[in-house]
Amino acid sequence: MHELEKQISDLEGRALRAIEAVALTDPEGLEKVEATRLAFIGQKGELTTILRALNSLDKTDRPRVGQLANIVKQKVEGALKEKHTALYEQGLSSRLAGDAIDVTLPGSRIASGHIHPLTQLIEEINTIFFSMGFSVAEGPEVETDYYNFDALNTPANHPARDEQDTFYTNIGQSVLLRSQTSNVQIRVMEKHKPPLRIISPGRVYRNEEINARKYPLFHQVEGLLIDRDVTFGQLKGTLEAFIRALFKKPLQIRFRPDFFPFTEPSAELDSQCPFCSGKGCRTCGNRGWLELLGCGMVDPNVLKGVGIDPEEFSGFAFGMGLERLAMLKYDINDIRHFYTNDLRFLEQF
Ligand SMILES: [Zn+2]
């Protein structure tokens, strides 16, 4: 027997014993099996080293020794594979045992999501106006000063255009974050011929300091109706119906003259306080009335600007701050609650 044959047989014995020695319960069993493979039959393993010496053998010995080496390699590989499978299955079954389900445990409660109170209010307002034949229109939040100011009859020197009130972008002096949703009215009137009935809820931005009442981001809902022979009486009737539906009780309303660039005449609408029915309470500051929204008849200049003949058509517009309305309706004392994503707040709705 050749010296190399002895070495190979010896290697076979040691490799098989090493594999045998790995216990199925050993948590590092798989690593040990791999280490054994590398040590004996890996690219830098013992058997490879032995086989390098084959070339120096006599031609008559070489085939016999080579064959033996192959047989040993296959045996060791087989034993490794068997041990690997056994270890894997052992590990799997013990993990399954650990994961066994205890059917007597109480079930875990699945927390249900909530629709944000502002979204709820927008949906409620939309539904009320849908019933009066309005549809929703939306427009861009990044806007040009033409749609945000010029087309709405806002003079070039109007303080609202000031950087202290409006966020301008660095895209250009005329590109800004819209400070009102009225831009949508202009875009709709440019594209569609009257009669028109739209409401446009959406985000607006103003350069405000943050406090309990003010936030640089808030929502508006604006409405626009354009038709033939529209009167202030129709505006009053529409808003009366809206407030009645929103607070689910008949409430008196009153108008106070006001000024907005894109309506003439313009008015501020007060509603009888829905919480005390006008008697006076904390919410209305004992006045019995709440300021709810601004409104008016669309200025003929605005109609002309979008190519609608003010001799033929007239209309009204109104707009309200959604956060203020939500704060009144849900008795919330700080506007920041809407944006802090505190679950304790949101789960109440
Ligand atoms: Zn009140």
Render 227-254 in DSSP notation, one character per residue: ETT--HHHHHHHHHHHHHHHHTS---EE
Residues with Cβ within 8 Å of 347's Cβ and at least 6 positions away in sequence, in order, are: 114
Q: Region 56-65: what's the mean pLDDT?
A: 84
Claim: this prediction has a pTM higher than 0.95: no
C-alpha 243 – ligand 1 centre gap (Å): 15
The radius of gyration of the chain's CA atoms, rounded to the nearest angstrom, is: 40
pLDDT value of residue 1 = 67
Q: Is the pLDDT of residue 334 over 80?
A: yes
C-alpha 221 – ligand 1 centre gap (Å): 23
C-alpha 230 – ligand 1 centre gap (Å): 33
* Per-residue confidence band for 271, with pLDDT thresholds at 50, 70 and 90: very high
Mean pLDDT lowest among 41-55, 76-90, 187-201: 41-55
- Give the span between the Cα atoms of 12 and 5, in whole angstroms: 11
C-alpha 282 – ligand 1 centre gap (Å): 6
C-alpha 294 – ligand 1 centre gap (Å): 20
pLDDT value of residue 203 = 95
Model confidence pLDDT, tens digit, residues 12-34: 999 999 999 999 888 888 899 99
Q: Region 141-150: what's the mean pLDDT?
A: 92
Q: Region 188-192: what's the mean pLDDT?
A: 93
273 by DSSP, 3-state: which?
coil
Residues with Cβ within 8 Å of 134's Cβ and at least 6 positions away in sequence, in order, are: 197, 198, 199, 223, 225
* Per-residue confidence band for 65, with pLDDT thresholds at 50, 70 and 90: confident
* Per-residue confidence band for 246, with pLDDT thresholds at 50, 70 and 90: very high
Measured at the CA of 190, the angle between CA 184 and CA 194, to 5 degrees, comes to 95
C-alpha 25 – ligand 1 centre gap (Å): 75
- Give the span between the Cα atoms of 190 and 193, in whole angstroms: 8
- Give the span between the Cα atoms of 61 and 203, in whole angstroms: 89
Closest CA to 136 of 81, 192, 197: 197
C-alpha 272 – ligand 1 centre gap (Å): 8
C-alpha 274 – ligand 1 centre gap (Å): 6
Q: Region 184-210: what's the mean pLDDT?
A: 93
Model confidence pLDDT, tens digit, residues 302-311: 999 999 999 9
C-alpha 54 – ligand 1 centre gap (Å): 103
Among residues of the chain, what percentage have pLDDT more than 90?
A: 61
C-alpha 203 – ligand 1 centre gap (Å): 28
Q: Region 317-326: what's the mean pLDDT?
A: 94
Among 26-30, 107-111, 132-136, the range with the most confident prediction by mean pLDDT is 132-136
- Give the span between the Cα atoms of 347 and 349, in whole angstroms: 5
C-alpha 189 – ligand 1 centre gap (Å): 38
C-alpha 283 – ligand 1 centre gap (Å): 5
C-alpha 117 – ligand 1 centre gap (Å): 22
Cβ count within 10 A of residue 264: 15
C-alpha 320 – ligand 1 centre gap (Å): 19
C-alpha 333 – ligand 1 centre gap (Å): 15
- Give the span between the Cα atoms of 55 and 58, in whole angstroms: 8
Closest CA to 293 of 233, 223, 346: 223
End-to-end CA distance of the chain: give it in Å, rounded: 89
Closest CA to 232 of 207, 266, 260: 266
Q: Region 148-174: what's the mean pLDDT?
A: 84
C-alpha 285 – ligand 1 centre gap (Å): 7
In CATH, the architecture of 117-346 is: 2-Layer Sandwich (3.30)
> Nearest 10 degrees: CA dihedral of 143, 149, 151, 156?
-130
What's the distance, CA 263 to chain centroid? 36
- Mean pLDDT, the chain, as a whole number? 90
C-alpha 292 – ligand 1 centre gap (Å): 13
Q: In which residue ranges of the chain is CATH 3.30.930.10 found?
A: 117-346
C-alpha 244 – ligand 1 centre gap (Å): 16
Cβ count within 10 A of residue 14: 15
More confident residue, 48 or 131: 131
Percent helix / strand / coil, the chain, rounded to 5: 45, 20, 35
266 by DSSP, 3-state: which?
strand
